[in-house]
Structure 1
Amino acid sequence: MQPSASSPAPSPAPAPAPHFDERLTAPRSWWLIAGLLGLSGGLVMFPLGTVPMLGGLIVAAVLAGAAVSSYGSARIRVVAGSLVAGDARIPVSALGAVEVLDAEEARAWRMHKADPRAFMLMRSYVTRAVRIEVTDPSDPTPYVYLSSREPEALAEALEAVRAGAED
């Protein structure tokens, strides 16, 4: 057997696996409400006939489902030496102390302790959170507040990346 004249192209390096990956999905009750909104769209169009009723049901259900899906698609990741939360990408080297917040403390940081300059990715249906100081002197953001169902795992991932960068 003769070797092939063309050599295989080198495959691109695989992307680094995330140390932490969480999607803040909407609760099931929100999907039920989206379905009921679709049903109400059908009922509004019911007097106009069967076809408009089905059109109203489908259009209202799709719009409500898209809204719930969009709001529930927020992601928090620690990957490639960065914290990626929603649209923000912050190098771990620009982050300071990580504070895991229980439900009561998280509520306080969302309300009366909140700083308007802070970056906040919060979801009302997630009761716990993480507060991370921003140590970059050129960044006016004092801290990052992230709702999380697994705040301890997020804090551990940030510490692991920070420890790996120091080695």
Structure 2
Amino acid sequence: MQNAAREAGAASAAVRYRERLAPSLWLFLAAALGGPMLTLVFVPAGSGIALVVGVIATLAIIALMIAGSPRVAVEQNVLRAGRAWIDASWLGEPEIRTGEDARQARGPGLPARGWHLIRGGIDGVVVVPNTDPADPAPSWTISSRTPDRLAAAIDAARASASPRS
């Protein structure tokens, strides 16, 4: 029992930051309109059937939106953004961007060769330089609802990572 508690504590200590970039509330509300529209299509088959199909469709749409949302995590000494990951020893100083600076970082200032994980409706952005000379992506641009916490987790992972030459 104590070993399981210690392992759970070690696993949670290894995760410095975790965030799911789920769509914003207004997008969920817009997607939820698909269920009532489908209900109207099935009314000729019967109102009970139409109602069940509409409710199931609404729940399925919302569940797929949540399940399909990318995750951002800093686990031990690794930054994960969606399906991509990079060792923290290759990361430079993260830059937090909000407001107009974030709009600039997501738009005209977005490097064409960089790694991007950008989601609409999420204002904050963290830009992290990539110092790996073999990697063609010069930086990572990541959307975050809490960019200050993400940047702090990246800094902590960088500090504890083994140095690369």
Larger CA Rg, structure 1 vs 2: 1
- Counting helix residues as a fraction of each chain, which structure ranks higher? 2
Aligned 8 A contact 2:94 2:151 in 1: yes
Partner of 1:6: none
Q: TM-score with structure 1 length normalisation?
A: 0.82
Aligned 8 A contact 2:130 2:140 in 1: yes
Aligned 8 A contact 1:44 1:56 in 2: no
C-alpha RMSD of the superposition:
2.4
1:97 is paired with a residue of what secondary structure?
coil
Partner of 1:3: none
Please identify, of 40-49 and 121-130, the stretch whose mean Cα deviation from structure 2 is larger: 40-49
Partner of 1:99: 95
In 2, the alpha carbon distance for the partners of 1:67 and 1:112 equals 31
Aligned counterpart in structure 2 of residue 84 of structure 1, from 80, 87, 110: 80
- In structure 1, stretches of 5+ residues that fail to align are 1-9
- Residue identity over aligned pairs, in percent, reads 34
Please identify, of 152-161 and 54-63, the stretch whose mean Cα deviation from structure 2 is larger: 54-63
Q: TM-score with structure 2 length normalisation?
A: 0.83
2:122 is paired with a residue of what secondary structure?
coil
Please identify, of 61-70 and 152-161, the stretch whose mean Cα deviation from structure 2 is larger: 61-70
Deviations 1:113-149 (A, max 9, x none): 2222211111111011100011100000011000011
Deviations 1:23-54 (A, max 9, x none): 22222222222322111110121123235413
- In structure 2, stretches of 5+ residues that fail to align are none
Structure 1 runs of 4+ aligned residues shifted over 6 Å read none
